[in-house]
Amino acid sequence: MIKILSICFLTPLIFSASALTAEETKYGLFLSPNLCLLSEKQNECEIKIHLKWYTNTPSEYCIHTSPTDKPLRCWSNTNQSEMQLELKLDDNQTLYLVDALSSQVVYQQAIRIQKQTTAYRQKRRNPWRFY
């Protein structure tokens, strides 16, 4: 009887902890897709990204490829937005959401590049045998 009561008291704590993580995950910088596949012959990746971001306070925000570069796009007096972005990449790239008023990086998200490689199948045994 005591074991059943202790389980009943613990379940509300579990549900409240999962609600906190859901609250935390609604803010951030989200990229889709965040992986670009290159064939062996390609050196540069052309990718169209759907970008979304959400913050908890409205301000002036900008998207940068590095925190010190010129911004790709800026928004004023808002706490969320989304856009389509076309990039040509030859290496992994990180996008930054920067608060334009304080120059602080709020969120960052990486775009990875992966080269496809051809896997050659090896024979299971040698074609000759010794008897």
Round to whole Å and give the CA distance between 14 and 9: 10
| Complete domains list, the chain, with CATH | 28-115 (2.60.40.2470)
Task: Flag whether pLDDT at 79 surpasses 80.
Answer: yes
Span 18-77, pLDDT tens digits: 443 455 568 899 999 888 888 888 888 888 999 999 999 999 999 998 877 889 999 999
Secondary structure class of 9 (helix, strand, coil): helix
Q: Which residues pair with 114 in a beta bridge?
A: 37
Round to whole Å and give the CA distance between 89 and 44: 6
Round to whole Å and give the CA distance between 47 and 101: 30
Global pTM?
0.67
Show the tokens assigned to 36.
Answer: 């670009």
pLDDT at 60: 93
Average pLDDT over the chain, rounded to an integer: 77
pLDDT at 61: 94
The one-letter amino acid at 73: R
11 pLDDT band, cuts 50/70/90, is very low
